[in-house]
């Protein structure tokens, strides 16, 4: 499997339809560092995998949904760095496996399925004790990979950015990448997270807790925008699909529909509404996750009422 090369990340100026106030937008191409462990995934896993090695753990156990970028990336990272892997999957098993789970299995990950009610208890002490009884001495990664070590890793993305900027933008799922960037910037720049969750108001409190666990400082340089989730996590629309397709034609860069596509759509809309001051420079983090496009195939076909896909 190809090794990870963070030097492949580039800071690329991109064209957006909205051009108010001469605002410049750059995309930090963290999607280029590895075909499978791309974007923020490597940075979240980096120090966790180092800790697992130091603790002589042989197996990484983690959690996710059936189309989880995290499950996909952990399976690839475990194979690359010599670990066994276990994925606890939310919901029932369906055959044939979707492309995400088939990829995980092909990388050697063992899958176990939990009903949604039981899955909600995954952070409880008793649940963790049951895991230890069932799976032995495994290294447990939370869903999405977000913990204090993930913050340490994601903060390192800042070292790759090759241009000065006024605003840093990033998609938000579990919040670890946003929290790591906030602490890494030390109040020096403004950070905007774009939530993919419909009911994501709790994220701000969670991110403040993540930050307080890793830093004694308080940070007031950030906010989360909740206006561009398109109906919720993994929800899409023809408008979003066509925007992402247009972006690819104009910039030769593919975005996913769950995270990065919604963020870039939001940035474009905010520029059109003159949210950003004149002559601002924005850097948006491309967090990878392009494998999710395969999982969107049936939803795209349903929207277009045919087998048409704008991403072919």
* pLDDT over 90 (residue 294): no
For helices 238-251 and 297-304, the axis angle rounded to 10 degrees is 110
Q: Which two tokens stand for residue 284?
A: 């948006």
Q: Please, which pLDDT band fits residue 79 given cuts at 50, 70 and 90?
A: very high
pLDDT value, residue 310: 62
DSSP secondary structure code for residue 189 in this structure? S
E strands in the chain: 11-14, 24-29, 59-64, 84-90, 110-114, 139-140, 167-172, 190-195, 222-225, 281-286
Per-residue model confidence (pLDDT) at position 218: 87
* pLDDT value for 20: 83
Query: Which of the 8 DSSP states describes residue 136?
Result: -
C-alpha 65/C-alpha 84 separation (Å) is: 19
Sole residue written with tokens 């066994």: 84
What is the C-alpha to C-alpha distance for residues 229 and 216, in angstroms, rounded to an integer?
A: 32
| Average pLDDT score over residue span 14-20 | 92
Domains of the chain: 6-36+148-304 (3.40.50.1100), 40-145 (3.40.50.1100)
Range with lowest mean pLDDT among 1-5, 246-250, 289-293: 1-5
Q: Is 50 helix (H, G, I), strand (E, B) or coil?
A: helix
Answer yes or no: is pLDDT of 134 > 60.
yes
Q: In the prediction, which pLDDT does 304 show?
A: 85
CA 131 – CA 116 distance, rounded (Å): 17
**pLDDT number for residue 295:** 77
pLDDT tops 90 at residue 70: yes
Angle at 290 between CA 67 and CA 58, to 5 degrees: 60
- Of 167, 169, 183, 232, the closest CA to residue 30 belongs to 169
Distance of alpha carbon 213 from alpha carbon 156, whole angstroms: 18
Distance CA 163, CA 179 (A): 21
pTM (2 decimals)?
0.93
Question: Can you tell me the distance from the alpha carbon of 278 to that of 301, in angstroms, rounded to the nearest whole number?
Answer: 40
Residue 297 pLDDT class (50, 70, 90 cuts): confident
Please tell me the least confidently modeled range out of 148-162, 179-193, 228-242, 287-301: 287-301
- pLDDT tens digits, residue range 218-273? 899 999 999 999 999 889 999 999 999 999 999 999 999 999 999 999 999 999 99
């Amino acid at each position: 499997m190809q090794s990870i090369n963070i030097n492949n990340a580039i800071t690329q100026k991109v064209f957006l339809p909205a051009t108010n106030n001469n605002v410049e937008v750059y995309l930090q191409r963290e999607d280029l560092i590895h075909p499978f462990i791309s974007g923020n995934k490597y940075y979240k896993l980096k120090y966790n995998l180092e800790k697992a090695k130091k603790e002589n753990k042989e197996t990484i156990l983690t959690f996710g949904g059936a189309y989880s970028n995290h499950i996909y990336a952990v399976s690839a990272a475990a194979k690359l760095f010599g670990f066994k892997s276990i994925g606890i999957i939310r919901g029932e098993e369906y055959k044939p496996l979707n492309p995400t789970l088939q990829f995980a299995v092909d990388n050697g990950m063992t899958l176990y399925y939990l009903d949604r009610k039981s899955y909600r208890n995954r952070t409880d002490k008793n649940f963790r004790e049951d895991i230890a009884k069932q799976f032995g001495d495994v290294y447990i990664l939370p869903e999405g990979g977000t913990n204090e070590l993930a913050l340490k890793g994601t903060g390192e993305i800042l070292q790759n950015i090759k241009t000065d900027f006024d605003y840093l933008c990033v998609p938000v799922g579990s919040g670890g990448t946003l929290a790591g960037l906030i602490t890494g910037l030390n109040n020096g720049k403004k950070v905007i997270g774009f939530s993919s969750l419909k009911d994501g108001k709790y994220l701000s409190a969670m991110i403040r807790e993540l930050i307080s666990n890793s830093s004694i400082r308080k940070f007031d340089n950030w906010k989360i925008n909740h206006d561009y989730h398109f109906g919720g996590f993994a929800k899409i629309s023809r408008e979003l699909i066509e925007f992402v397709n247009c972006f690819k034609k104009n910039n030769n860069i593919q975005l996913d529909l769950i995270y990065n596509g919604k963020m870039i759509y939001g940035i474009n809309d905010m520029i059109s509404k003159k949210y950003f001051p004149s002559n601002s420079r924005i850097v948006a983090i491309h967090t990878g996750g392009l494998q999710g496009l395969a999982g969107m195939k049936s939803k795209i076909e349903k929207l277009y009422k045919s087998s048409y896909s704008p991403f072919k």
